[in-house]
């Protein structure tokens, strides 16, 4: 667990701070130390798993952690950002199985009840050798932004709805800074690249749909997790976009994308 992880409370509610500390302690025990006995103290009696590689419940998690310990004994994960809203805590993570590898970008989302983790979703993407922008998938370049969680969430949701439901490309001009700092490895910096990429995908896939939206906002950061499909028969992708907002505009963007598999170790789907 990185001490440099950017943490926020989202409000003056001490429950949010406590939930974040629970998740950080769980993550350190479960992933970096692979100590299920320690990690299990933070897990509810019922644990709903949405990672398609892991069976449902605490025992499914225990088995998966045992596999990690045996197969990747030098696995380490650094939490780059963590923030919270309501019962949810989100972590933006860099996981590396072996020292020297590029590793994976991960967004983990945990739901808590009565101080215990009871549900988990994630999206995982290998870190590429290069990016179109020159920015990595993790660093934070813009550090000041909106202080109102409600305003930030409203801006990002207006952008998302206009673009995905109405296919209104003018939303990019209205809500995204022309000098957008981009961490999507496929896109260069700037709003023009976002506009061009969405237009090209929509033209190639006129049945493009976005669904199952999950929103977590905390001051200037907003996470949107959703299911995107090129057509109704496409299994699609799980996507998590994280946006930073400043002065009414989206100024920085990270994302992680994972193909939805045909089969899963649990019956909960990725959403």
Q: Model confidence over 229-270: pLDDT tens digits?
A: 999 999 999 999 999 999 999 999 999 999 999 999 999 999
H or E stretch covering 22: helix 14-27
Residues 119 and 180 in one domain: no
Residues 159 and 81 in one domain: no
Residues 30 and 106 in one domain: yes
User: What are 204-221's pLDDT values in tens digits?
Assistant: 999 999 999 999 999 999
Decide if 10 is inside a domain.
yes
Decide if 215 is inside a domain.
yes
Decide if 269 is inside a domain.
no
Local structure of 23: helix, strand or coil = helix
- Domain span holding position 200: 149-259
> Whole-structure pTM over 0.75, yes or no?
yes
Residue 179: exposure state from Cβ atoms within 10 A (0-12, 13-18, ≥19): exposed
Decide if 267 is inside a domain.
no
Q: What's the number of domains the chain is made of?
A: 2
Decide if 270 is inside a domain.
no
**Rounded to the nearest 5°, which phi and psi values hold at 192?**
-60, -35
User: What are 63-76's pLDDT values in tens digits?
Assistant: 999 999 899 999 99
Whether the pLDDT of residue 12 is over 70: the answer is no
Decide if 172 is inside a domain.
yes
Query: What is the model's pLDDT at position 72?
Result: 93
Output the six-digit token pair for 104.
């994976």
């Amino acid at each position: 667990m990185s001490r440099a992880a950017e943490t926020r409370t989202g409000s003056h509610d001490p429950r949010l701070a406590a939930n974040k500390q629970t998740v950080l302690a769980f993550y350190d025990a479960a992933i970096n130390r692979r100590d299920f006995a320690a990690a299990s103290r933070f897990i509810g009696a019922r644990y709903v798993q949405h990672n398609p590689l892991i069976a449902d419940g605490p025992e499914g998690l225990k088995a998966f952690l045992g596999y990690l310990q045996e197969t990747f004994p030098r696995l380490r994960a650094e939490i780059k950002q963590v923030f919270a809203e309501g019962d949810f805590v989100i972590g933006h993570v860099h996981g590396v199985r072996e020292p020297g590898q590029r590793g994976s970008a991960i967004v983990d989302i945990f739901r808590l009840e009565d101080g215990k983790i009871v549900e988990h979703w994630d999206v995982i993407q290998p870190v590429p050798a290069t990016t179109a922008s020159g920015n990595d998938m993790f660093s934070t370049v813009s550090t000041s932004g909106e202080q109102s969680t409600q305003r930030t969430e409203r801006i990002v949701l207006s952008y998302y709805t206009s673009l995905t439901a109405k296919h209104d490309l003018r939303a990019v001009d209205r809500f995204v800074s022309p000098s957008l700092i981009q961490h999507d490895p496929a896109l260069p910096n700037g709003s023009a690249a976002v506009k061009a990429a969405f237009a090209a995908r929509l033209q190639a896939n006129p049945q493009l749909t976005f669904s199952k939206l999950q929103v977590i906002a905390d001051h200037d950061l907003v996470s949107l997790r959703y299911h995107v499909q090129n057509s109704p028969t496409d299994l699609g992708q799980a996507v998590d976009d994280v946006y930073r907002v400043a002065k009414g505009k989206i100024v920085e963007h990270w994302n992680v994308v994972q193909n939805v598999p045909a089969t899963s170790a649990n019956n909960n789907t990725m959403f």
